[in-house]
Amino acid sequence: MSITTGPPPVQTGGFAGALTRAVNQRLDAATLRLARRRLHVKALIIGVWYIASIAGVVLASGWLEGLLAGTSLSLAFAAVGFNIQHDANHNAFFASSSKRLSRANRIVGWSMFVIGADANRWLYRHNTLHHGSPNVVGTDSDINLGPLARLAPFQRRYFWHRYQHLYLWPLYCFTVLEIMFNDLATLVGASRHSRNARSRLSDASVAILTKVVFVALMVGLPALTHPFWVVAVGSVAIMFAVGFLLGVVFQSAHIVEGAEFAEAGSRPPYQWHEWQVRSSLDFSHGSGPLSRLFRWYAGGLDHQTEHHLFPRVPHTAYPLIAPVVSAVCEDYGIPRHVQPSFHAAVASHFRHLRAMGRPPSSTNSA
Ligand SMILES: [Zn+2]
């Protein structure tokens, strides 16, 4: 499968054409404008929440206050990842109709830096590799955990995978640390191969400077008012909590029962739009207060199919186009995967991990 940076050019025929027409009809200019306004208000609320949580951590005067502020910071930290940088790095935060607005998207996408990751590397790893080839072994970095886990049927199985549905959960806590480590490792690898000294220096400066700012925020500021050991324990706990949240939400949207996978080096036997549907899972479409609260928090990751089909549409519009996507999928007989709630999606992820870890003979009877 060729790696692409986004949806292919708009098609007029077949499933892709019907889908594009139906969604364009649902999302007129006024509806899109309103969805973007809601996204901007939401980003502002999350930005204030993030800053207030850091202030709370710094000013906390007892263990209970510290615990509450730390929990709030963990949730706000992940919310920036789910709701602000994700849309902006997909050029969805502002309508990318001009160079100026595309640049504005890139600037908001730098919010990735305040949560410790490198926006430039995210663009390649997430937008190019993951979105271009979801669930394709060897290309989609989200399904490659090396020998630690077997997430797809075409990956090699080791005997310890028998227990991966149990041991993988605590390992998700390392997601943020893995992203940070990977940023630096990629930088070192790239600097060895790049002949352009200026871009090498600029990449290294951005990566190092942003990590320094992040450590200053997470460790330096709280260390002004708290003993160092408290700050160290608190920072590690926050990184683990955020890593767990990011890992579980992102993985439960693709690595689940029913989602399809493709072999390394092969082209999925479906056209681009159809493959996005077959390899993604939506969850939490309900209208109950818990579903709505989770939807607000998860930043459209619960509407993963809509996100993969239309990554440049702000996530606040996904619930509007979900019924349209369902109807067109039904017309074309394309299986669309939806779980009623987040915990149902997590349970499906658990069962998928268990099935992938079993020896081939017992997998068939699962
Ligand atoms: Zn995305």
Assigned domain for 8 exists? no
DSSP class of 303: B
Assigned domain for 178 exists? yes
Question: How far does the centroid of ligand 1 lie from the alpha carbon of residue 310, in Å?
Answer: 10
Question: How far does the centroid of ligand 1 lie from the alpha carbon of residue 308, in Å?
Answer: 7
What burial class does residue 333 get, using C-beta atoms within 10 Å of its C-beta: 0-12 exposed, 13-18 middle, 19+ buried? exposed
Question: How far does the centroid of ligand 1 lie from the alpha carbon of residue 195, in Å?
Answer: 31
Of the chain, the percentage scoring pLDDT greater than 70 comes to 90
Q: What gap in Å lies between CA 366 and CA 364, rounded to an integer?
A: 6
Please report, for residues 64, 158, 164, 294, the alpha-carbon distance to residue 171 in angstroms, rounded to integers and kept in the order given: 27, 17, 10, 23
Chain segment 146-178, per-residue pLDDT in tens: 999 999 999 999 999 999 999 999 999 999 888
Question: Per DSSP, what are the bridge partners of residue 283?
Answer: 339
Scanning the structure block, which residue is given the tokens 């949560």? 115
The b/e string for 59-78 (b: 16+ C-beta within 10 A; e otherwise) is ebeeeeebeebbebbbbbbb
Question: How far does the centroid of ligand 1 lie from the alpha carbon of residue 64, in Å?
Answer: 36
Question: How far does the centroid of ligand 1 lie from the alpha carbon of residue 63, in Å?
Answer: 37
pLDDT of residue 365: 37
More reliable by pLDDT, 264 or 38: 38
Question: How far does the centroid of ligand 1 lie from the alpha carbon of residue 81, in Å?
Answer: 11
Assigned domain for 9 exists? no
pLDDT band at 113 (very low <50, low <70, confident <90, very high): confident
Question: How far does the centroid of ligand 1 lie from the alpha carbon of residue 233, in Å?
Answer: 31
- 173-182, 207-216, 250-259 — most confident range: 250-259
Q: How many domains does the chain fold into?
A: 1
pTM, 2 dp: 0.87
Question: How far does the centroid of ligand 1 lie from the alpha carbon of residue 231, in Å?
Answer: 32
Residue 1 has pLDDT above 90, yes or no: no
Question: How far does the centroid of ligand 1 lie from the alpha carbon of residue 300, in Å?
Answer: 9
Question: How far does the centroid of ligand 1 lie from the alpha carbon of residue 362, in Å?
Answer: 34
Assigned domain for 5 exists? no
Scanning the structure block, which residue is given the tokens 């930088």? 187
Region of poorest pLDDT, from 105-119, 126-140, 322-336: 105-119
pLDDT of residue 13: 67
Question: How far does the centroid of ligand 1 lie from the alpha carbon of residue 330, in Å?
Answer: 24
More reliable by pLDDT, 210 or 15: 15
Question: How far does the centroid of ligand 1 lie from the alpha carbon of residue 364, in Å?
Answer: 33
Domain that holds residue 205: 14-364
pLDDT of residue 209: 81
Question: How far does the centroid of ligand 1 lie from the alpha carbon of residue 301, in Å?
Answer: 8
Contact 45, 78 (CB under 8 A): no
Q: What gap in Å lies between CA 20 and CA 55, rounded to an integer?
A: 45
Question: How far does the centroid of ligand 1 lie from the alpha carbon of residue 82, in Å?
Answer: 9
Q: What gap in Å lies between CA 133 and CA 140, rounded to an integer?
A: 6
Residue 202 has pLDDT above 60, yes or no: yes
Residue 245 has pLDDT above 90, yes or no: yes
Question: How far does the centroid of ligand 1 lie from the alpha carbon of residue 139, in Å?
Answer: 15
Question: How far does the centroid of ligand 1 lie from the alpha carbon of residue 254, in Å?
Answer: 12
Question: How far does the centroid of ligand 1 lie from the alpha carbon of residue 76, in Å?
Answer: 19
Scanning the structure block, which residue is given the tokens 């100026």? 100
Q: What gap in Å lies between CA 296 and CA 247, rounded to an integer?
A: 18
Question: How far does the centroid of ligand 1 lie from the alpha carbon of residue 87, in Å?
Answer: 8
pLDDT of residue 98: 73
What burial class does residue 352 get, using C-beta atoms within 10 Å of its C-beta: 0-12 exposed, 13-18 middle, 19+ buried? buried
Assigned domain for 278 exists? yes
pLDDT of residue 12: 56
Q: Give the closest residue to 88 by CA, choosing from 37, 134, 123.
A: 123
Per-residue pLDDT, averaged over 318-344, amounts to 94
DSSP class of 282: E
Question: How far does the centroid of ligand 1 lie from the alpha carbon of residue 307, in Å?
Answer: 7
Question: How far does the centroid of ligand 1 lie from the alpha carbon of residue 126, in Å?
Answer: 6
What's phi and psi for 14, nearest 5 deg? 60, -160
Cα R_g (the chain), whole angstroms: 21
Residue 22 has pLDDT above 80, yes or no: yes
Question: How far does the centroid of ligand 1 lie from the alpha carbon of residue 3, in Å?
Answer: 15
